[in-house]
Structure 1
Amino acid sequence: MEVSTSVRDTFVHLVHDVFPNLTTDEPLYNVLAGSSILLVSAVIYIFARLLIRPTIARWVYRSDNAWDNALQEYGFFRRLMHLFPAIFIYITAPVLIDEGAVFLGLMVKSSQLYMLYSALLALYALLSTVEYVYNTSALAKRAPITGFIQVTKLGFAIITILLSISLIVDRSPLLIVSGLTAIAAVLLLIFRDTILGFVAGIQIAANRMFNTGDWISMQKYEVDGEIKEIGLTNVKVQNWDKTISTLPTYSLTTEAVKNWRGMQESGGRRIKRAIHLDVHSIKLCDNEMLERFSKIRYINDYIEKKKNELQAYHRDYSIDESDLLNSRRLTNIGTFRAYLEAYLRKHPHIHQELTLMVRQLPPTELGLPLEIYCFSARQEWVDYEKVQADIFDHVMAMLEPFDLRAYQRDSHLGALVNRGSESPKP
Structure 2
Amino acid sequence: MTDLHNLLSQWFIDQPVAWTTIRTLFVLLTAWASFHLARTILLRWIGRLIRSSRTDLDDVLLDRSVLRRAALLAPVVVLYYGVEVLPGPTPYLLQIVNAALAIVLMLLVGASIDAFQDAISEYDARSDVPIKSYAQIVKILIYVVGALMTIAVLTGKSPWVLLSGVGALMAVIILIFRDTILSLVASFTIASNRLVKVGDWIEGPAFGADGDVIDISLHTVKVQNWDKTI
Judge same fold: TM > 0.5, yes or no: yes
Contact 2:134 2:191 in 1 (8 A): no
1:73 maps to 2:59: no
Contact 2:99 2:154 in 1 (8 A): no
Counterpart residue type for residue 91 of structure 1: Y
Contact 2:188 2:218 in 1 (8 A): no
User: 1:14 Cα shift?
Assistant: 3.0
Per-residue Cα deviation, 1:117-171 (whole angstroms, up to 9, x for no partner): 2212211221111211222243743121222211211111111111111111111
In 1, Cα distance between equivalents of 2:178 and 2:81: 42
What SS does the corresponding residue of 2:212 show, helix, strand or coil? strand
What SS does the corresponding residue of 1:224 show, helix, strand or coil? strand
1:216 maps to 2:216: no
Q: Which consecutive unaligned segments of at least 5 residues does structure 2 have?
A: none
What is residue 14 of structure 2 aligned with on the other side? 21
Counterpart residue type for residue 145 of structure 1: I
1:128 maps to 2:114: yes
Per-residue Cα deviation, 1:235-260 (whole angstroms, up to 9, x for no partner): 2223233433xxxxxxxxxxxxxxxx
Per-residue Cα deviation, 1:176-215 (whole angstroms, up to 9, x for no partner): 0110011111222234334333332333233322122322
**Structure 1 pair 21/188, CA: closer, same or farther in 2 (3 Å)?**
same
Contact 2:70 2:108 in 1 (8 A): yes
What is residue 147 of structure 2 aligned with on the other side? 161
1:202 maps to 2:188: yes
Contact 1:166 1:173 in 2 (8 A): yes
1:9 maps to 2:3: yes
Contact 1:193 1:233 in 2 (8 A): no
Residues 13-412 of structure 1: pairs in structure 2 closer than 5 A: 13-17=7-11, 19-22=12-15, 26=16, 29-94=19-84, 96-97=85-86, 101-102=88-89, 104-138=90-124, 140-244=126-230
Q: Which consecutive unaligned segments of at least 5 residues does structure 1 have?
A: 1-6, 245-426
**Structure 1 pair 155/166, CA: closer, same or farther in 2 (3 Å)?**
same
In 2, Cα distance between equivalents of 1:140 and 1:129: 18
TM-score for the superposition, normalised by structure 2: 0.87
Counterpart residue type for residue 75 of structure 2: P
What SS does the corresponding residue of 2:218 show, helix, strand or coil? coil
Counterpart residue type for residue 47 of structure 2: A
Contact 1:194 1:232 in 2 (8 A): no
In 2, Cα distance between equivalents of 1:201 and 1:63: 36
Counterpart residue type for residue 9 of structure 1: D
What is residue 280 of structure 1 aligned with on the other side? none
User: 1:69 Cα shift?
Assistant: 1.8
Counterpart residue type for residue 90 of structure 1: Y
In 2, Cα distance between equivalents of 1:117 and 1:217: 42
In 2, Cα distance between equivalents of 1:222 and 1:91: 57
Question: Percent identity, aligned pairs only?
Answer: 28
Contact 1:89 1:107 in 2 (8 A): no
What SS does the corresponding residue of 2:207 show, helix, strand or coil? coil
In 2, Cα distance between equivalents of 1:57 and 1:32: 35
Per-residue Cα deviation, 1:47-67 (whole angstroms, up to 9, x for no partner): 121244322113323433433
Per-residue Cα deviation, 1:342-367 (whole angstroms, up to 9, x for no partner): xxxxxxxxxxxxxxxxxxxxxxxxxx
TM-score for the superposition, normalised by structure 1: 0.50
Contact 1:217 1:223 in 2 (8 A): yes
- Determine which structure has greater relative contact order: mean sequence separation of CA pairs < 8 Å that are 6+ residues apart, divided by chain length: 2
**Structure 1 pair 29/169, CA: closer, same or farther in 2 (3 Å)?**
farther
- Residue correspondences, number: 230
Counterpart residue type for residue 112 of structure 1: N
Aligned CA-pair RMSD: 2.3
In 2, Cα distance between equivalents of 1:165 and 1:206: 32
Contact 1:117 1:160 in 2 (8 A): yes
